Structure 1
């Protein structure tokens, strides 16, 4: 039986030996090296994906006609195009090679315009045991232009220590959204500024994917062209045989994890959290929430 790695291969010092030993093709090796060195990689998903981009826009257009709607969560429940993009076999192959575990998409977010989201790392919203077995995939549904609020990121920031709510100065048992905005957002920005890492914009073409490591600092840049669109699909992925939890409402130091039962976009089922092949014990509230989510299968527009 092959042992699963305790850390993503690209995040280890042995990733070059791993590439040589595995005999990966040129494109896969380049993907792993980009993830290792920069914390992100860019992938062309091909002409079929570009056709799906048009269909995904059409499938979700009605949601954005409502006043105040900025994003649609889990449109894959009702859109075959969104589900097919999120389940890209090429992305799955590349992630499996880079991480050493099989990935599965568990959430989709559709955007009509730039999010202008504050700088953050996904490790405060989604995490795993072993850590760092999570990633984001940002797919451009149209060509991204400067001024339309493109994704902003800091290459190399994935190598910094993971910042928790406690490290941001929040010591309550159950942090609130206000604690995140008050404490985490400014402290995280200070850490990135102190590291002196350059900021870059993801100006990618329709049908291309920007894949980032869990701890890469990223956000949405300011929209300087009023009325411009930045139609995109964000896919969050976990990996096999891990505990999945929400860091913002967990205390890792005390070993208290707010476990999740994530959906598997590819299969339409859910994925029970496991560690070393053993299923975790879950709170009834979480299990019930997963059942309701998968029975209703309703996208959430907010």
Structure 2
């Protein structure tokens, strides 16, 4: 499989850079097994598993619809690495499967997989094939995890929006239970997105089949432009959280920032298998949307 369960993470590098690149973490045989399970999943899902445009479709929570992929992700080698990063047991929260480059704008996962304490969530990017420079490689901006988003600071740049948020906060209610305010949380997310878009220092990862990249919950990352639409960039992304963390939804994150407590926490029922912990979720396909409209659908990711 590559690294065994005795692999030691350089925690100083993790703290400094906010990511790990693990070359040849998985053997080609292991990746081929994942691809076989993906093909089986698509065959069973039928026509809905395919994007009619033929480009950049994504499958959400494929681990929920494919026992083979779930078992592959809950492998001892990855479990070992994540356990070291979290100092706790890792829980498989969600998965994303891409055939081609996402061209996703710069963002962080934290608001949409928000957990406390800081650092108890991570994304894992697994290359299912060699990544060509023209296929829209993953990019990270090393070190950006050290500057967690200041929601209030971002809002103060838009006084009218800030006033609306303060009016909501005066109600002292949970944003997740009031659909009327969800549009407001989306507009706050759009304002916050501006804080990530223009960050400099992008590092592209033209990595090899079987390589793994792991990033911190606050790492700014995204997908580079696809220069050659005929090229695939098959990848499997998984999101993980520590089993002892507390999670909150994005609406409360953006509207009740700075005062989140357990009464606003999400209920994330964890299921246990012989391989490890995971969250059972519905598996479905969403066609990719243009980058400029991403922020309006991000709550689905």
Report the TM-score, using the length of structure 2 for normalisation. 0.72
Q: How does 1:198-209 map to 2 (within 5 A)?
A: 198-209=201-212
Judged with a 3 Å threshold, the aligned counterparts in structure 2 of structure 1 residues 182 and 202 are, in CA distance, closer, same or farther, namely: same
Q: 1:244: which partner in 2? A: 247
1:172-204, Cα deviation, whole Å (9 max, x unpaired) = 3445374256312222224x24xxxx2111111
Which structure 1 residue ranges, 4+ long, deviate > 6 Å from structure 2?
Answer: none
1:221 pairs with 215, 220, 224, which one?
224
Q: 1:157: which partner in 2? A: 144
- Looking at structure 1, the residues matched to 208 and 137 of structure 2 have their Cα atoms a distance apart, in angstroms, of 12
1:164 deviates by: 4.6
**Once structures 1 and 2 are overlaid, which stretch shifts more, 245-254 or 145-154?**
245-254
1:48-71, Cα deviation, whole Å (9 max, x unpaired) = 422323224413545552325721
Q: 2:17: which partner in 1? A: 38
- Looking at structure 2, the residues matched to 266 and 206 of structure 1 have their Cα atoms a distance apart, in angstroms, of 29
Larger RCO (alpha carbons 8 Å, 6+ apart): 2
Is 1:182 the counterpart of 2:163? The answer is no
Report the TM-score, using the length of structure 1 for normalisation. 0.72
Contact persistence 2:248–2:266 (CA under 8 A): yes
- Looking at structure 1, the residues matched to 14 and 70 of structure 2 have their Cα atoms a distance apart, in angstroms, of 24
- Looking at structure 2, the residues matched to 158 and 101 of structure 1 have their Cα atoms a distance apart, in angstroms, of 20
Q: 1:168: which partner in 2? A: 154
Question: Secondary structure at the residue paired with 1:182?
Answer: helix
Is 1:54 the counterpart of 2:35? The answer is yes
**Once structures 1 and 2 are overlaid, which stretch shifts more, 46-55 or 137-146?**
46-55
Q: 1:121: which partner in 2? A: 108
Judged with a 3 Å threshold, the aligned counterparts in structure 2 of structure 1 residues 144 and 265 are, in CA distance, closer, same or farther, namely: farther
- Looking at structure 1, the residues matched to 272 and 73 of structure 2 have their Cα atoms a distance apart, in angstroms, of 8
Is 1:83 the counterpart of 2:83? The answer is no
Contact persistence 2:51–2:57 (CA under 8 A): no
Q: 2:135: which partner in 1? A: 148
Contact persistence 2:151–2:257 (CA under 8 A): no
1:212 pairs with 212, 215, 222, which one?
215
Question: Secondary structure at the residue paired with 1:167?
Answer: helix
- Looking at structure 2, the residues matched to 241 and 93 of structure 1 have their Cα atoms a distance apart, in angstroms, of 16
1:299 pairs with 283, 290, 296, which one?
283
Aligned residues: 248
1:266 deviates by: 6.0
Q: 2:123: which partner in 1? A: 136
Judged with a 3 Å threshold, the aligned counterparts in structure 2 of structure 1 residues 264 and 45 are, in CA distance, closer, same or farther, namely: farther
1:89-129, Cα deviation, whole Å (9 max, x unpaired) = 11111121232111111111111111111101111211212
Contact persistence 1:107–1:263 (CA under 8 A): no
- Looking at structure 2, the residues matched to 65 and 242 of structure 1 have their Cα atoms a distance apart, in angstroms, of 35
Q: 2:174: which partner in 1? A: none
